[in-house]
Amino acid sequence: MTNRMPDIFTREKRSKIMAKIRSQGSKMEMEMKEALEENKIDFEYQPKLFGKPDFLVRPKIVIFCDSSFWHGRNWRKLKRQLKKGYWQDHIRKNIKRDALVNETLRNQGYAVLRFWDDEIRKNIGWCVKQIKETSLLTSADFRARSQIVRF
């Protein structure tokens, strides 16, 4: 038997709550933006690139600020807490889409950095350090890496 938490809201109320969650301009994005500005890192916010990264750090580093829930962090544990059907399917699709975006951008010569919400919230300095270290690499280094950098 799995430990599923019953939803305290009706389907209609839950739908309204979820519809208000912002896909851009979130608190974690604003924290990252402020940290990049404070560290004088040249960036573009919401660049028009495949996969809609949150930031482009020149020349070729894309940064995603990922919500643990929406992007399936600890998926094995999370999926046990969700009812089968819509939410499991939705998050599973997000995970697959993230993998496609990572691969596509990497093949285009970008370094792909993904930070979880709690990493941004609790240790933004560490996130900035990872960005600075990645900026020292070349595009050839990005392509040579066997995996996407997931912190």
Task: Please write the tens of the pLDDT for every residue from 37-46.
Answer: 999 999 999 9
Q: Mean pLDDT lowest for which of 4-13, 33-42, 74-83, 97-106?
A: 74-83
What is the torsion angle, in degrees rounded to the nearest 10, for the CA atoms of residue 115, residue 94, residue 86 and residue 73? -30
d(CA 71, CA 94): 6
Q: Quickly tell me which residue has 């998050």 as its tokens.
A: 91
- Taking every pair of Cα atoms in the chain, the longest distance, rounded to a whole number of angstroms, is 51
How confident is the model over 88-114, as a mean pLDDT?
89
- Residue 147 — pLDDT band, cuts 50, 70, 90? very low
Residue 132: per-residue pLDDT: 94
Could you tell me which CATH class the domain 22-150 is placed in? Answer: alpha beta
- Residue 70 — pLDDT band, cuts 50, 70, 90? low
Q: Where exactly are the structural domains of the chain?
A: 22-150
Q: What is the pTM of this model?
A: 0.74
How confident is the model over 27-33, as a mean pLDDT?
93
β pairing state of 61-66 and 55-57: antiparallel
Q: Measuring CA to CA, which residue among 54, 53, 60, 43 is closest to residue 111? A: 60
Whether 136 shows a pLDDT value over 80: the answer reads yes
* Residues 6 or more apart in contact with residue 27 via CB below 8 angstroms: none
Residue 17: per-residue pLDDT: 60
